[in-house]
Amino acid sequence: MKVVVLTIFPELMQAFWENGIMRRAIESGAVAAQAVNIRDFAQGRHKVTDDRPYGGGCGMVMKPEPLAAALRDVKQQTPGALTLLMSPQGRCFDQAMAREMAAHEALVIVCGRYEGVDERFSEQFVDGEVSIGDFVLTGGEVAAMVVMDAVVRLLPGVLGNEDSAEQDSFGHQRLDHAHYTRPPEFEGRPVPEVLLSGHHERISEWRRADALLRTFARRPDLLHGATLSKEEIALLGAWHRELESIIRSQGGSGPDSPPGGGQER
Ligand code: 9D3
């Protein structure tokens, strides 16, 4: 896959591309990454890429001409690329979008700065606007790295594909189980005994139960939409009965109960 990033801060991409999985993906030829400096396509001695907003207000807006010139140049060398604009107004990025993007031969990712880009540029040149969530960044570059990170790890060969089960883990909508490594006791805290037992079936069962419990505790929203396995239904049922028994054992005499227990009528 070819990925071209349009930015006024091309240096920001280098550390990301020169390290870790990204570096390996590029070295292996699975990914070709290129940063294009929008400023190189700006006019005049000062190479201005931004201007004051029509209608007034604070902040600056990215001028459409340098963006359009840069993108036309890139599209000529990368025909058929999917062109995305990183923008707080975009569709919120998720694993399904990462999978969709990973199916394209080439991506062009435009990074805005300042208050945003001239609307006519996005209307005319961009296939889709993408946000990475409801928080405020100073520009699209870090968001573009998030998207690239999620997309590149899905490409064939990049993770060696021993991780391909993990690739469904968000289609499968469970959080991961807890992980432990040596030492067997750390600052008085032991590793759950079953993980040291060497009993692979019991270990798998423990992990499936732990994943379900953590998902229920931290992200119950994921379970509302999910198809539960028979094993998960049994586990939730057992926890449900146990919680009911704990509540019943209070007999309406907890600290929040009304005087007399509130059971009288
Ligand atoms: C007046 C409101 N503006 C500043 C608070 C809006 C605004 C403009 C430009 C807010 C952020 C930005 C820069 N952000 C991005 O370019 C961006 C972004 C983000 O801020 N959050 C989540 N995803 C993304 S993708 C691009």
Mean pLDDT of 151-174: 76
Is 137 close to ligand 1, i.e. is its CB under 6 Å away? yes
Token pair 């990074």 in the structure block, residue: 111
For residue 170, name the pLDDT band (cuts at 50, 70, 90): low
Q: What percent of the chain has pLDDT over 70?
A: 94
pLDDT of res. 116: 96
Is 143 close to ligand 1, i.e. is its CB under 6 Å away? yes
Work out which ligand 1 atom sits closest to the CA atom of 111. Answer: 16
For residue 165, name the pLDDT band (cuts at 50, 70, 90): very low
Which of 99, 111, 87, 119 is CA-nearest to residue 35? 111
* Helices (H), ranges, the chain: 11-17, 20-27, 64-77, 95-102, 119-125, 141-152, 164-167, 200-218, 220-224, 230-249
For residue 264, name the pLDDT band (cuts at 50, 70, 90): low
Structure tokens at 36: 């294009």
End-to-end CA distance of the chain: 72
**Residues 115-152: tens digit of each pLDDT:** 999 999 999 999 999 999 999 999 999 999 999 999 99
CA 10 – ligand 1 centroid, Å: 18
- In this structure, which residue's CA is closest to atom 18 in ligand 1? 88
Which of 9, 78, 79 is CA-nearest to residue 38? 9
For residue 204, name the pLDDT band (cuts at 50, 70, 90): very high
Q: Is a pLDDT exceeding 80 seen at residue 93? A: yes
- In this structure, which residue's CA is closest to atom 8 in ligand 1? 115
- Pairing label, strands 82-92, 128-131: parallel
Structure tokens at 60: 């600056």
Query: 2-152 architecture in CATH?
Result: 3-Layer(aba) Sandwich (3.40)
pTM for the model? 0.93
pLDDT of res. 111: 98
pLDDT of res. 112: 93
Which residue pairs, CB below 8 angstroms and at least 24 apart, start in 55-59?
A: 57/115, 58/115, 59/114, 59/115
Sequence spans of domains, the chain: 2-152
Structure tokens at 130: 């993408």
**Distinct helix (H) and strand (E) counts, the chain:** 10, 9
Q: Is a pLDDT exceeding 80 seen at residue 164? A: no
**What positions carry a catalytic annotation?**
88, 115, 153, 168
Per the model's pLDDT, the better-predicted residue between 265 and 97 turns out to be 97
CA 155 – ligand 1 centroid, Å: 28
Q: Please name the amino acid found at residue 160.
A: G
Is 53 close to ligand 1, i.e. is its CB under 6 Å away? no
Q: Is the dihedral of CA 179, 165, 202, 232 positive or negative?
A: positive
CA 37 – ligand 1 centroid, Å: 20
Contacts of 66 (CB under 8 A, 6+ apart): 38, 39, 41, 42, 43, 49
CA 87 – ligand 1 centroid, Å: 6
**Residues 7-64: tens digit of each pLDDT:** 999 999 999 999 999 999 999 999 999 999 999 999 999 999 999 999 999 999 999 9
Residue 92: exposed, middle, or buried by beta-carbon count in 10 A (0-12, 13-18, 19+)?
exposed
| Average pLDDT score, the chain | 94
Per the model's pLDDT, the better-predicted residue between 204 and 260 turns out to be 204
